[in-house]
Structure formats: C-alpha cells, structure tokens
C-alpha cells in the first residue's frame, strides 16, 4: 500500500458493460449486430434497415421499414437558423470541428427532445440525430468549399440524399449515381456500430450523467476525431500518399517496427481484433467494385495498400503482434474515388456511427439500474505531506 486508493478492476466506467447490440469476437474476426453478421448486413440490407435493427433489436417488417424510412426523410431538414451557425466558422475550419460545434448546438434548437426521462422525447431525439446528420455533414462540406447549402429531398434514399446534398448544386439537376449510392450505403453500414470503442464509451459516460442526447453525440464526435480512432481513415490516405510508390513500402514497414520511431501503420492494428477486421474485408471488396464500376483502372494508392497489406501480413513483427488491416485501411480509397476530400472522411464515419452511439445511449438510459459513470484510479502520487510556506521553500 503506498496510500493509493484501492483499484477495483471490476468497476466499469458506466456502471455496466452489458449490451445486446453488437458482439465482436476479436480472435475469430467476427462482428454481429443483434446477431446478424456484418458481411450479411452489408451485402443484403440497407443502412436505414440497419439503423432500425440497432435501435429496436429486430429487422423491420415491410411496414416498419416504410414508416421508419418516411420518418428519416421527414426529419432530414434542419432548423433554418442552424444554417447561420456555420457562418461563424472560418472557411478553412476542419469539417470535424464544425460537426462538434453544430451537433453540440442541436439541443438549443430541439428543446422538445432533450428530456431523457420521456421515452417519446428519447425516440424523437434518436430519429432527429440519424435523419439530420447527413444534412449537417453535407453542409459542413459545402461551407468548406464555398458552395450554397442544398436542402434535402424527400424523393431520395438516405445515401442518395447525402450524395445529392454534398455534390449537387442549384445550377443544374444532379443525377445520383446508383453505384455510388449503393457504395455509400454499404460504407455507412460498415461504420454503424462497434461495441464499446472509445467514442461509444464517451457517449455512454456523458449520457450516464443525464446530459441531453445531442450533447452526448457531440462528445462522441470529439472522441472519434482522434487519429488513433476514427481519424485514422484520413491518416491512412495521407500515409499512402506519403509512401508514394510501392518500392518505398519496406522502409515504411521497417519504421513501423522500430520502437524508437513513433511511426505507425495507419489502418493497421486494433484493440480488439487480433485477426482480420471483417469490415476491412468487405471494404476491400467494395473498393475494387467501386473503382471498377467507375472505370478507374489504375489507382496507385490501391496498389500501394494491397502491397503494404501483403508485405505486412507476411512480416514476423505483424504476425507476432497480430496486426491486421482494420476498417479504416481501405475506406479512404473508396471515398477519394467518390470525390470526397480527406477532411470529410472522419465526418462520414461520425455520420454513420451516430446510429450506434444513440442506440447504445438509449440502451444505457433504459437500463433501470444505470448509475452515473465514475471510473476509479490507481493513485501513484505523493502520500500526505505538510504544507511548506513560500519563505521556507528556498
């Protein structure tokens, strides 16, 4: 004992780690959402359906799906005064900085869905957040490129609407490319939820104090922004661009293994997966499909990524440390091919992860034994000592 508090390893930050939403087997590389495998959901479902599944625990019937889809379309517009919020940012503000600010401000516009003790307000908040994130994200992009905001259209699907609001302009009709819309929907599914990752734990901890759901999601966005977490997708593309050519990969792998060099292979490794991240496999396949369908025959970054994966997965360091590509390794290549700047990559991650955050928040709030999260510590500082007046401190 050195005067430290007793550390209770069983104590959890939010009072409970139990959840029925997402299951990960890191050793086997398995990811299930409410029992359905991520590769099946990505191949056979749609993002709105997966949102319904995460929120409600079952896949929607045709009637439930139609009603939920209609709710998302009807809630997709934002309060008109919110559009003026953007003009307070510099044009070169990182879109994630805008997302943190604008989403945190939502509780100032939607007072009728902030009382967490009222189930109907909780439900409306969840629907508003999922429905409005594409509009808010697209506006962050439009603001950064100096183009006018595009209002959502109720005749478009969730993914189509986001592409329309991002890349459409008032000057001419925008024809949504079905290939891009399908790829966008799949990318949203792959990012929807992932158990108790750093940003989800942030949302749960913020929510455990009774904070309103909009503030909790803003906290999750802030946590996701870090390059060790959701910010990795932007960092992967920068890394691939810095590598530049396939023959510079061995040096990059050498640096990643050098403990004295804080260089890390972005998009590689994971706290939980000690096998291939199943989302990365789906993403890699989608990468080939989208580039092929867009007629992009030669994407040097994809060649570098594929060669980097091949070399790393045969290197004893990566094998011993069980480092595999994660969800962020290939996503940036698709997003670049779709026309997004790297600064929007983590914004898209936050857009998609909002349903996971708010589903986990809802599960926690509805837990009857939920208490405020209060992580304990292992104190390693000074033991008690007498105060020394300034004159006697030498």
- Per-position DSSP letters for 254-288, written without gaps between them: HHHH-TTS----TTB--SS-SS--HHHHHHHHHHH
If one asks whether residue 332 binds ligand SDX (CB under 6 A), the answer comes out as no
If one asks whether residue 328 binds ligand SDX (CB under 6 A), the answer comes out as yes
- Give me the catalytic one of 69, 193, 277, 328: 328
Residue 194 known to be catalytic: no
Alpha-carbon gap, residue 326 to 336, rounded angstroms: 18
**Site map (CB under 6 A) of ligand SDX, residues 212-241, x = contact:** ----------------xxx-x---------
Nearer to ligand SDX, 107 or 346 (CB): 346
- Report in angstroms how near the CB of residue 328 gets to ligand SDX at its nearest: 5
**Site map (CB under 6 A) of ligand SDX, residues 246-265, x = contact:** ----------x-------xx
- Report in angstroms how near the CB of residue 195 gets to ligand SDX at its nearest: 6
Among positions 238, 254, 271, 374, the unique one binding ligand SDX when judged by CB under 6 A: 271
If one asks whether residue 33 binds ligand SDX (CB under 6 A), the answer comes out as no
Q: Which stretch binds ligand SDX (CB under 6 A): 1-9, 181-189, 283-291, 318-326?
A: 318-326
If one asks whether residue 319 binds ligand SDX (CB under 6 A), the answer comes out as no
Alpha helices for the chain (secondary structure H): 38-44, 47-56, 62-74, 82-85, 95-105, 119-145, 158-167, 178-190, 198-208, 213-224, 232-243, 249-257, 278-293, 300-312, 316-321, 328-337, 345-365
Q: Name the closest residue to ligand SDX (Cβ).
A: 269
Residue 270 known to be catalytic: yes
**What number of other Cβ atoms are within 10 A of residue 172's Cβ?**
7
Among positions 38, 323, 338, 352, the unique one binding ligand SDX when judged by CB under 6 A: 323
Alpha-carbon gap, residue 240 to 85, rounded angstroms: 35
- Give me the catalytic one of 185, 193, 270, 277: 270
Strands of 36-37's sheet, edge to edge? Answer: 22-25, 30-33, 36-37
The residues carrying an active-site annotation are 270, 328
> Contact residues for ligand SDX (CB under 6 A)?
194, 197, 228-230, 232, 256, 264-272, 321, 323, 326-328
């Amino acid at each position: 004992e050195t005067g430290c508090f007793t550390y209770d390893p069983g104590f959890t930050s939010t009072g409970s780690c139990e959840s029925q939403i997402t299951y990960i087997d890191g050793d086997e590389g398995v990811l299930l959402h409410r029992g359905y495998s991520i590769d099946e959901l990505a191949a056979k479902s749609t993002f709105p359906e997966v949102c319904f599944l995460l929120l409600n625990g079952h896949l929607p019937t045709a009637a439930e799906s139609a009603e939920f889809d209609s709710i998302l379309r009807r809630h997709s517009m934002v309060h008109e005064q919110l559009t003026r919020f953007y003009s307070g940012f510099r044009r070169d503000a990182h879109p994630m900085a805008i997302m943190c600010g604008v989403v945190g401000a939502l509780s100032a516009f939607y007072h009728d869905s902030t009382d967490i003790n009222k189930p109907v307000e909780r439900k409306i908040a969840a629907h508003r957040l999922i429905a409005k994130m594409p509009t808010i994200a697209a506006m962050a992009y439009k603001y950064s490129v100096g183009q006018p905001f595009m209002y959502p259209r109720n005749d478009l699907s969730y993914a189509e609407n986001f592409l329309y609001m991002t890349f459409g302009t008032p000057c001419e009709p925008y024809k949504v490319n079905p290939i891009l819309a399908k790829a966008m929907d799949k990318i949203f599914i792959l990012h929807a939820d992932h158990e108790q990752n750093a940003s989800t734990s942030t949302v749960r901890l913020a929510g455990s104090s009774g904070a309103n759901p909009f503030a909790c999601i803003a906290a999750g966005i802030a946590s996701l922004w870090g390059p060790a977490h959701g910010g990795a997708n932007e960092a992967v593309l920068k890394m691939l661009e810095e590598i530049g050519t396939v023959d510079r990969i061995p040096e990059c792998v050498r640096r990643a293994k050098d403990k004295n060099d804080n260089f890390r292979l972005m998009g590689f490794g994971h706290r939980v997966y000690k096998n291939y991240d199943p989302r990365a496999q789906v993403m890699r396949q989608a990468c080939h499909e989208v580039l092929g369908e867009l007629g992009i025959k030669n994407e040097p970054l994809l060649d570098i990524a594929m060669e980097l994966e091949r070399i790393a997965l045969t290197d004893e360091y990566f094998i011993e440390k069980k480092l595999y590509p994660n969800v962020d390794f290939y996503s940036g290549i698709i997003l670049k091919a779709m026309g997004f700047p790297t600064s929007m990559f983590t914004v898209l991650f936050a857009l998609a992860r909002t349903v996971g955050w708010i589903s986990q928040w809802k599960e926690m709030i509805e837990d009857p034994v939920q208490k405020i999260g209060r992580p304990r510590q292992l104190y390693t500082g000074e033991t008690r000592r007498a105060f020394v007046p300034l004159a006697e401190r030498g």
